[in-house]
């Protein structure tokens, strides 16, 4: 359980660092992210904060397997670190895709949308697409790997630190496959929105960590919730919290005020 405690501490630290970094950003628009280097650092912090609470079972199972292999018992910590590094690496690659999508959003003028328009024409379609993706076979296949780390390791086990790195990256790919639509929805709410970071990370944790008896129900509730969010964004955008910009302790909001009908 040491690994779970360490991951928890890293997640808490990443949440604090993420909020601090967001509060220090100059708002140039909803989808402004600064330089690529700054965005990558902030993205890694965000993924550490959001994903570590739900990946700890895989890290714990990996550590247990390593420790029970007599020839590798002295290397469990370094190999767990390699596994986590591979996992974060997969999410970092997805972050580069997210950076490109945000650049496209700025290029096509989504920064100029009012808050109501953003909710109706960006958030609503993203939420509906995420709801549909919930029942896609590919999503379910990725989710099974995320929920069953022992099965994952039985299928993909590799020895050594390099093997741990590869397994971490592969597990990260499954995790990206499971959660990428939720991350796109998060980006649709505006750059680095702390309120929806909390909502999305909680949804991911519940869906992945729910006991077997509740697992399908948890996914079903999330599907219904995403569909309801799409309808709410269309009908009552003013009811959505923190739409259109950063929302956190500093009270930062849209750079451009708008009237919500």
Residue 257 has pLDDT above 50, yes or no: no
- Kindly report, residue by residue over 193-237, the tens digit of the pLDDT: 788 888 899 999 888 888 877 888 888 999 999 999 999 999 988
- Least confident stretch, 74-78, 118-122, 146-150: 74-78
Q: What is the pLDDT of residue 52?
A: 85
Q: What is the pLDDT of residue 219?
A: 87
- Least confident stretch, 171-175, 180-184, 212-216: 212-216
* Residue pair 196/189 in contact by the 8 Å Cβ criterion: yes
- Kindly report, residue by residue over 48-63, the tens digit of the pLDDT: 888 988 898 899 898 8
Residue 246 has pLDDT above 60, yes or no: no
Q: What is the pLDDT of residue 211?
A: 83
Alpha helix (H) residue ranges in the chain: 2-23, 36-68, 76-107, 115-118, 124-134, 137-147, 149-156, 160-188, 194-209, 212-235
Residue 5 has pLDDT above 60, yes or no: yes
Q: What is the pLDDT of residue 128?
A: 96
pLDDT tier at 71 (50, 70, 90 boundaries)? low
Structure tokens at 160: 């050594």
- Least confident stretch, 21-35, 115-129, 147-161, 246-260: 246-260
CA atoms within 13 A on the CB side of 27: 20
Q: What is the pLDDT of residue 173?
A: 96
Nearest to 122 by CA among 203, 227, 243: 243
Mean pLDDT of the 185-199 span: 82
In the chain, domain spans: 2-239
Which is it for the CA torsion 124, 29, 193, 219, positive or negative?
positive
* Residue pair 40/96 in contact by the 8 Å Cβ criterion: yes
- Least confident stretch, 26-30, 170-174, 209-213: 26-30
* Distance between start and end Cα atoms, the chain: 50
d(Cα 176, Cα 211) in Å, to the nearest integer? 21
Structure tokens at 167: 């397994």
* Residue pair 135/223 in contact by the 8 Å Cβ criterion: yes
Mean pLDDT of the 80-107 span: 93
């Amino acid at each position: 359980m040491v690994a779970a405690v360490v991951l928890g501490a890293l997640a808490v630290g990443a949440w604090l660092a993420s909020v601090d970094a967001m509060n220090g950003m100059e708002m140039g628009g909803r989808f402004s992210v600064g330089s690529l280097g700054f965005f990558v650092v902030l993205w890694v912090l965000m993924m550490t904060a959001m994903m570590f609470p739900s990946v700890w079972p895989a890290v714990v199972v990996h550590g247990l397997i390593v420790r029970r292999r007599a020839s590798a018992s002295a290397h469990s910590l370094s190999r767990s670190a390699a596994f986590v590094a591979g996992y974060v690496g997969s999410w970092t690659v997805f972050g580069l895709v997210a950076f490109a999508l945000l650049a496209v959003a700025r290029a096509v003028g989504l920064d100029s949308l009012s808050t109501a328009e953003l909710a109706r024409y960006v958030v609503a379609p993203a939420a509906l697409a995420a709801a549909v993706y919930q029942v896609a076979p590919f999503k379910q296949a990725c989710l099974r790997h995320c929920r069953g780390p022992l099965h994952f390791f039985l299928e993909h086990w590799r020895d050594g630190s390099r093997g741990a790195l590869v397994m971490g990256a592969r597990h990260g790919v499954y995790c990206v496959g499971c959660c990428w639509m939720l991350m796109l929805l998060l980006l649709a709410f505006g750059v680095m929105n702390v309120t929806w970071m909390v909502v999305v990370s909680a949804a991911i944790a519940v869906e992945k960590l729910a006991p077997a008896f509740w697992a399908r129900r948890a996914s079903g509730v999330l599907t219904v919730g995403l569909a309801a969010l799409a309808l709410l964004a269309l009908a009552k955008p003013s009811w959505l919290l923190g739409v259109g910009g950063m929302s956190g302790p500093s009270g930062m909001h849209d750079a451009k005020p708008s009237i919500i009908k």
